[in-house]
Structures are given as structure tokens and as C-alpha cells.
Amino acid sequence: MTASQGTTGLILNEPLLWERGKPGRTAFSLPRRDVERKALDPRHAGPGPDFPDLSEVEVIRHYTRLSQWNFGVDTGLYPLGSCTMKYNPKTNERQASLPGFAGAHPLLPDELCQGALELMAHLQELLAEVTGMDAVSLQPAAGAHGELTGMLIFAAHFRNKGEKRTKILIPDTAHGTNPASCALCGFRPVALKSNERGVVDPAVVQELMDEETAGIMVTNPNTLGLFEENIQEVAEIVHRNGGLVYCDGANMNAVMGIVNMKAIGVDVLHLNLHKTFSTPHGGGGPGAGPVCVTRQLEPFLPVPRVVQEGGAYRLSQDFPLSIGKVHAFHGNFGVLIKAYSYILSMGEDLKKVSQLAVLNANYIKERLKDVFHLPFDRPCMHECVFTDKKQQAHKVTTLDMAKRLMDYGFHPPTIYFPLVVHGAIMVEPTETETREDLDRFIEAMRAIAREAQEDPERVRQAPTKPKLRRLNEAEAARRPCLAG
Ligand SMILES: *Cc1c(COP(=O)(O)O)cnc(C)c1O
């Protein structure tokens, strides 16, 4: 071990476990053996894993220290736009770890897991009510997986009608997963240019919508944090031409209990339970991307589906038009429990969640728009998008300012997305932040804007306070050092 233990007070350096320990050290003590030592049958004895020899306290300190380097919503404001990094009430974790749920085996016969099936059936009803849609599948394991499921449903619908449609319209503000999901299902994504207000233009849809186009995949609110104000007109055009409307509902946090998705013309919608409905996410942890559809498309939903018969629940495969299974068993059940717990504990306040999320984003937008360029100066939904246009004069970029925010103790927002905005800085505060924390964030952003003018080099050198300085990202991507 070469580096010293402490760098900044009690923020400790931590070597790899392989660099720690001494041969023969163990994590437990057992009474002395009172039987003779015997060699393993050589047929079963391999070389053995190459694990270091460590004491229990060495292992515990190692992982506890690593956990202290982490930043998460439990540590502070995490304004990552498009990700809805809100605080997740701990009661949800408690419900998800109830032994009856946590210990249930997915192969239990229906009669022995009535509670779990009832939870799924009731959660489907609640999600249908929140979105205004008719029927729900909980199987998809993520937002992108919900998109894929939705596109498979589109394909099954047109196959069933004997129509061959090959294209899907996708606005240029879309999340990258949207065109990918279309392409995976054999559709060709066609880019739709947004208008000067940052939303889809019905005239452009009218021009492109033909008999070979299966429909549109639109995110609402979109990734600029703007409500697609022409959605009804767009949906009418698509429907008139025999197409379907898919809505990427990853931004549902802005409109829960406020927008009825079916009423505005949506045929298929996915939700991100791990964003809107309060499951901790990031780092690729388990998620859930339920798909909500209209009655017309219900026959195509994945199987098995929960059905109720004579007061009991059972899983049914009896849906001949179904696209089949999209995930092992019933999706990520633990995430479903957390969403259920969240919805029941919030009750009617779910609507207030969205109102506060929108209020917080507009507060930040209004308090920063004199120092950062705001490409769309109009009321936003749950997130707002700035750019580095004003700071370019001092050769300070979005990346520099994001890094500098770390010196002020904040996780940076999403940067350089959506791609249609040059140098985008996308802030999503969520509803769970207090006025004081929002003000602290605003003050930090304003201080950085000031520094960009008065001491730009300082911003370009950031970060200076975290454990590591600015990393060589190209090198890290091309030659990752997996050994530590
Ligand atoms: C997060 C997000 C997705 C993808 O969701 P995953 O769960 O990460 O697969 C898709 N679209 C939008 C707009 C998103 O914000």
C-alpha cells in the first residue's frame, strides 16, 4: 500500500482487496479441528479461487469506505435531467422486503401466491387510472424494454390487420432508445424535425404520414421539458392514416393525474416505475417499464396475464394474439411492490407531486435565465434546458461548468442532451427538494456563471475538490483499467 490513508480529513483512500491482507488471515474464528485433515477428492479439487486472505474488519471497512465515495439521492440534490432522480421513501423498501413477498418463489402455484397476484392486479388498475389508459402489462424490466414491447404490439396489430407498415416517425428530441427499439422490431425510424417552439409540428407529420408508416413515437412531456402542445392534432393525423401513437412516458413525473393519455390520442404508453414511481435507480439496477394500452390493443399484451375468477387470481396464457413473454416470470417484482407502496401512500397527493416538480423546475429556470442562455423561454414542465452560449465568449463550456458544480458539492445535471440543443445543460430538480436546497443550487450555478467571466481558468480546471481531478474520458472508454 503506497498512498496514505487519509487525503482530505477523513475521506479515506482505499486500495484493492487484492492489495490488502496477509496470507493465512481469515474473516472468522472457529474452534480447533478435532478430526483429521483429509485431502479433497482430486476429481472435485480445482485450483481454488484467487481470493485474498482478509479479516472481517478489513472487508467491512473496504466496502463501507467505497460506499462513502458514492453520491446518490440520499446524499444530496441530483438534478440529472430526464432521469427523475427523486428521493425514494424508505417505507417502500420496507414493504418490498416483507418476507411473504421477498421470499416468494416465482414458480409457486397460483393458489399459494394470491397476495402477490392481487398486488399485481391492483397495481395494473392504479397505473391505468393514473395514465387514463385501459390495460397494463407489468412485465417489461425498463423503459427501453417497454418501448420494445410497445413496438412488438404495433407490429402484431398491423400483422393482425394484414397491413405491412415499415416506418415510425420519431421527433429529433427523442431519447436514443426510441429509434433503437423501433429498429429492433424491424421498423425504420424517420426523424421528425421539431419546430422553433421545440415541439412536433402537425404539418410535418401530415407530410410524412403515409400508408407505409406504422405511426409516431413521441415523448410527452418531451426531452426539452416542454409539453407537446399539438399532440391531439398529431394523433388525429396519425389515426386518420391508419397509424398508431406511441408515447414514451418516462417523463410522466410532470403530468401524473393531470394529463389523460388516452384522451390526448395515445394508443401505447410506457412508464418508468424506477423514475416516476420511486424506485432507487442508476448504475443499471433493476427497473420496471410497464406498458399501458387502449382496449383495442389489449389482446396483444404479453402473457402470462393476471386474471380474476370467482374471487381468486390466476396467471393465464390464454390470449392467442399475445406477443408472448418479454421477461422471465413477471418482471422485476420488487420494483412493482415499491411502486404500489408509493402510490398507495401518496394517494391523491400524486397530482401534487407533478405540480411541485413543475413548480421547482420553473423556479430554477426563472432564477437562472439572466445568467444562462435559455433556448426556449416559456413555461417548462419538470425540467429546464439551458446552454453555455453566454459562457462561450470566455471559452468556458458546459462540461467545465458541470465539473465545477462538483466543487460546490452538487451532482452535475445532464449535459449535451438533448442533442438538438448545442451545449445543453438539462436540470430536473424533482419535487422532493426543499426551497433551501434549490436556492443553494441556484447560488452555486450563479457563482459559476460569475467565475466564467472573472476567472474562467478556474472553471476550466475543475473539479479540484473531489478525490479525483478531471478524468481523461476518451482514455477511460478506450482503455478501461479494470484492475483498479
Ligand atoms: C430514461 C428514459 C428512457 C429509457 O429508460 P430505461 O429505463 O433507462 O431503459 C427512455 N426515454 C426517456 C425519455 C427517458 O428519460
The predicted-structure confidence for 340-391, as pLDDT tens digits, reads as follows 999 999 999 999 999 999 999 999 999 999 999 999 999 999 999 999 999 9
Residue nearest to atom 6 of ligand 1 (CA): 143
- What's CA 242's distance to the chain center, in Å? 32
What is the number of the ligand 1 atom nearest to the C-alpha of 223? 13
What is the number of the ligand 1 atom nearest to the C-alpha of 275? 1
What is the number of the ligand 1 atom nearest to the C-alpha of 82? 15
Question: Which of 220, 248, 255, 273 is the pocket-test mutation for ligand 1 (most atoms within 8 Å of CB)?
Answer: 248
**What's the pLDDT at 8?**
55
First to last CA, the chain: 13
- Which pLDDT tens digit goes with each residue over 144-190? 999 999 999 999 999 999 999 999 999 999 999 999 999 999 999 99
Measured in angstroms, how far is the CA atom of residue 143 from the centroid of ligand 1? Answer: 5
Residue nearest to atom 5 of ligand 1 (CA): 143
Question: Which of 272, 291, 385 is the pocket-test mutation for ligand 1 (most atoms within 8 Å of CB)?
Answer: 272
Measured in angstroms, how far is the CA atom of residue 393 from the centroid of ligand 1? Answer: 34
CATH number, domain 91-348, options 3.20.20.370, 3.30.360.10, 3.40.50.20, 3.40.640.10: 3.40.640.10
**What's the pLDDT at 2?**
47
CB count, 10 Å around CB of 405? Answer: 21
Measured in angstroms, how far is the CA atom of residue 175 from the centroid of ligand 1? Answer: 7
Q: 463: cis peptide before it, omega within 30°?
A: yes
Question: Which of 80, 82, 148, 178 is the pocket-test mutation for ligand 1 (most atoms within 8 Å of CB)?
Answer: 82
Residue nearest to atom 3 of ligand 1 (CA): 143
**What's the pLDDT at 118?**
97
What is the number of the ligand 1 atom nearest to the C-alpha of 177? 10
Fold of 387-478: Aspartate Aminotransferase, domain 1 (3.90.1150)
Residue nearest to atom 2 of ligand 1 (CA): 250
Q: Which residues are bridge partners to 190 per DSSP?
A: 169
What is the number of the ligand 1 atom nearest to the C-alpha of 146? 9
What is the number of the ligand 1 atom nearest to the C-alpha of 272? 7
Measured in angstroms, how far is the CA atom of residue 178 from the centroid of ligand 1? Answer: 9
CA-to-CA distance for 163 and 97, rounded, in angstroms? 47
Measured in angstroms, how far is the CA atom of residue 249 from the centroid of ligand 1? Answer: 9
What is the number of the ligand 1 atom nearest to the C-alpha of 84? 15
**Shortest CA distance to 191 belongs to which of 213, 159, 165, 163?**
213
Question: 190: alpha, beta or left, given left = phi > 0 and alpha = psi -120 to 50?
Answer: beta
CA-to-CA distance for 453 and 401, rounded, in angstroms? 12
Question: Which of 80, 83, 177, 428 is the pocket-test mutation for ligand 1 (most atoms within 8 Å of CB)?
Answer: 177
Measured in angstroms, how far is the CA atom of residue 334 from the centroid of ligand 1? Answer: 19
- Which residues line the pocket of ligand 1, CB cutoff 6 A? 82, 142-144, 175, 177, 219, 223, 248, 250-251, 272, 287, 289
What is the number of the ligand 1 atom nearest to the C-alpha of 142? 7
Measured in angstroms, how far is the CA atom of residue 250 from the centroid of ligand 1? Answer: 6
What is the number of the ligand 1 atom nearest to the C-alpha of 147? 10
Domain range summary for the chain, segments of one domain joined by +:
91-348, 387-478
pLDDT means per 10 residues, the chain with 484 residues, are: 51 82 88 86 74 92 88 92 95 96 94 96 98 98 97 98 97 95 96 95 97 97 96 98 98 97 98 95 86 98 96 96 95 96 96 98 98 97 98 98 95 95 98 97 98 98 90 87 67
